[in-house]
Structure 1
Amino acid sequence: MKKKLSIITINYNNLDGLKRTVESVINQTWQEFEYIVIDGGSTDGSAEYIESQRDKIDYWVSEPDKGIYNAMNKGIYKAKGEYVVFLNSGDFFLSSAILQDCYAIIRNGNADVFYGQIKIDHHHKEKTIVYPDLLTLSYMKDMVINHQACFFKLTTLLEHNGYDEKYSLAADYHYYLKLYIKGKIFCPILFPTVKYDISGVSSLRMEEYRAEMKQVWTDTIPTFLIKLEKDYFNLVSTIESSLILKLAFKLRKYKIKWFHGK
């Protein structure tokens, strides 16, 4: 029977983080997923640990790769689930029931990307990052939703040939923008799903990541689309304001008590 989800973990010389990630996956109460681990030829005992867990892992490989997104693409092309979630070494699901809770939402929708919230450690305190219910270009110009908290439709990933490996740090950002301008569907999951390890490559090289994001934006987004979307939301806002005013006048006309506060 086809699995509902494919969980992909990529790792390179992060044995402690890998153990934390694998444990959070294999301890899920809902088990209708396949687990794929792509290791980049680690020399710190990661491969041996993966081998020791092989009865709980559907596919794994330990070999040199060409970077983060090359490893993720390897996982994509091995995946067979309806949706894919990338949980990289060091990241972990916030509870053993997270997949059960998330799939209850996913099975009732048909989005290309379901995106949840994340938790991080910020200045020694846990912080929740909340993404908007409705993504817009103005928001996405400077922000990117966290791919560890996303469930991606596999057919959409394959349709776009996975991640563009010419971007070494922000290929996930490029993928989001590409889907967005093609009108693909993004659906929010309104609770935190993962604890994100901020010691990962993109976090440690934040200045480079931001610079690459700017390049991705320039490469991907035609200028006219920004104005078009802004005009659209302004129009919608104007219409909504007009409807609210009309409703207010009607309430006043019929002397609705709660409208007058009496």
Structure 2
Amino acid sequence: MSNKISVITVVYNDVKNIRNTMESFFLQTWEDKEYIVVDGGSTDGTAEVIKEYADRLAWWCSEKDDGIYDAMNKGILHANGDWINVLNCGDSYCSTESLKEAMTNCDPESADIIYGNSVRKQLGHTIMTEVSADTTGLNYAPIYRHGSSFVRTSVHKKYLFDLSRKKNFGYALDWYLIYTLYKKGYRFVKTNASIETYDIDGMSNHPVRSTWLNYRIVTSDGFNVKKLKKFIVSFVMAALTRGRVYRAFRKFVLETFTNTILSHVPIWTVRRSSLKMLRTKIGKGTYINRHCYIMDPNRLSIGHYSHINRMCTLDARGGLYIGDSVSVSHGVMLMTGSHDINAVNFPVNYLPIRIGDYVWIGCGAIVLQNVTIGKGAVVAAGSVVTKDVPPYCIVAGIPAKIIGKRNENLDYKCEP
């Protein structure tokens, strides 16, 4: 199978963003692709920009339509690839490798729908969202962004967006399609790739209304008590999280309580239980010493039998994933946050750090955002890691470079 990707961009009167979105497609290193652009009859110069790329497009049009999902259906019917991805105007791919990583970091043959991670922009800041590989969550709500997914073309042409439901589900019609495919037993597979960068201030950024639409969709095939309970909790949380009181309370819990009070509690069982209540994932036998500074513990995940020593900084704002039997020595800083130094407003960017099993990070080392440290690797004391570290490699220096290899026959647990 060639895994040719048909990318569809839908646009109407958005001359400000159309070029950047189109260039994001053309910069993709995945060669087996085609581009379809559906313009709703723009009058602001958007169509003129699209015309500049006409000889590089598989198909495009500029004509009135019945809204965004009608436009998407037009694009789907003209797609000739094996997979369909929708890249709306104003969005872009996370990197030039996004399509390539999406296809190579999973087994497409075992999937009807492939989905991955997304990066959201909010007030100029960027934060990556790691999605779950557990598809049972689709019984209750979307678990990934529509733009960060690929639907097998043969499936999508059979199941177009149901415009007859637009009055009922509005801008959530894409979720209705996803839910329909899930309930019909189509195969959803997560790929280890970050695909779409999107602006959170889009047309669907209405948490309370979205929660209501989600519930209507997941009960469109019948009432369910468990779904009702989850809806009530989600609805209340969506309403509360938009208030200042909640934001102040959240800041207190994730900052003052976690790092001023909890980090000084001498009993690990108490600290562990409290962190788990804050949605930190902590595996069996894992131990976090006192006096560690943790940012956003709800985005921290640590496997089994790992040991985090004193005075470490665990910045999980962009997602911090630590494997099994990992030893993090005193004073290590794992930093997922950074800034765009060339942007006028100096925005904050958050990207994840992933640390494999059996990794040892020496005293005072710093690991920066968007770095993966492979299984069994060693980071020497005082090093600054700015790039991925291959499995079983020993790195040292500023910036860290490979200085040796480690024995690959490892079998131990890091216990306090």
Q: TM-score, normalised by structure 1?
A: 0.78
Q: Could you say which residue in structure 1 is the equivalent of 2:85?
A: 85
Percentage identity across paired residues of the two chains:
31
Report the alpha carbon displacement of residue 122 of structure 1 after superposing the two structures with TM: 3.0
Q: Does 1:47 align with 2:47?
A: yes
Q: Distance in 1 between matches of 2:59 and 2:190?
A: 29
The CA deviation string for residues 57-96 of structure 1, in whole angstroms up to 9 with x for no partner, is 1110011111111111111111111000000001111221
**Distance in 1 between the 2:201 and 2:44 partners?**
17
Displacement after TM superposition at 1:200 (Å): 2.7
User: Counterparts of 1:153 and 1:132 in 2: how far apart (Å)?
Assistant: 20
Residue 11 of structure 2: aligned partner: 11
- Measured after TM superposition, the shift of residue 199 of structure 1 is 3.4
Deviations 1:223-255 (A, max 9, x none): 3897xxxxxxxxxxxxxxxxxxxxxxxxxxxxx
Report the CA distance shift for 1:173/1:108 in structure 2 as closer, same or farther (over 3 A).
closer
User: For each residue in 1:110-140, what CA deviation from the matched residue of structure 2 results, as whole angstroms up to 9, or x when unmatched?
Assistant: 3111001000123542111111111114x55
1:183-242, CA deviations, whole angstroms, 9 ceiling, x for partnerless residues? 111000123112113233222x5544433222222213553897xxxxxxxxxxxxxxxx
With the length of structure 2 as denominator, give the TM-score of the two structures. Answer: 0.51
User: Residue 210 of structure 1 aligns to a residue in which SS?
Assistant: helix
Shift of 1:56: 1.4
Give the corresponding residue for 1:145: 144
Once residues 17 and 210 of structure 1 are traced to their aligned partners in structure 2, the CA distance between those partners, rounded to angstroms, is 29
Matched, 1:196 2:194: no
AA in 2 matched with 1:70: D
Aligned to 2:161: 163
Taking the aligned partners of 2:176 and 2:198, their CA distance within structure 1 comes to: 20
> What amino acid maps onto 1:210 in structure 2?
T
- By how many angstroms is 1:107 displaced? 6.0
Structure 2: distance between partners of 1:36 and 1:221: 37
**Does the aligned pair in 2 maintain the 1:92–1:194 contact within 8 Å?**
yes
CA RMSD of aligned residues (A): 2.8
| Gap regions ≥5 residues in structure 1 | 227-256
Larger Rg over CA atoms: 2
**Structure 1 residues 1-262: aligned runs within 5 Å:** 4-105=4-105, 108-137=108-137, 140-160=139-159, 162-165=160-163, 166-167=165-166, 168-203=170-205, 205-221=206-222, 223=224
Name the structure with the higher helix share.
1
Distance 1:222 1:79 in 2: 36
Equivalent-residue separation in structure 1 for 2:73 and 2:89 (angstroms)? 16
Residue 40 of structure 2 contacts residue 62 of structure 2 at CA under 8 Å; is this kept in 1?
Answer: yes
- Number of residues paired by the alignment? 230
Matched-pair contact (CA < 8 Å) for 1:174–1:220: no
Q: Secondary structure at the match of 1:183?
A: coil
Q: SS in structure 2 opposite 1:88?
A: coil
Q: CA, structure 1 residues 105+69, in 2 after alignment: closer, same or farther (shift >3 Å)?
A: same
Aligned to 2:199, the other structure's residue is in SS state coil
Q: Contact conserved, 2:30 with 2:97, CA < 8 A, in 1? A: yes
In the TM superposition, residue 109 of structure 1 has moved relative to its aligned partner by 2.8
Offset of residue 108 of structure 1: 4.5
Distance verdict in 2 for CA 1:55–1:206, change over 3 Å: farther
Deviation of 1:53 after TM superposition, in Å, equals: 1.0
SS in 2 for 1:196: strand
Structure-2 separation of matches of 1:30 and 1:214: 37
Q: Distance between the aligned counterparts of 2:195 and 2:178, measured in 1?
A: 19
More strand by share: 2
In structure 2, what is the Cα distance between the partners aligned to 1:74 and 1:106? Answer: 29
Query: 8 Å contact 2:106–2:192 — kept in the other structure?
Result: no
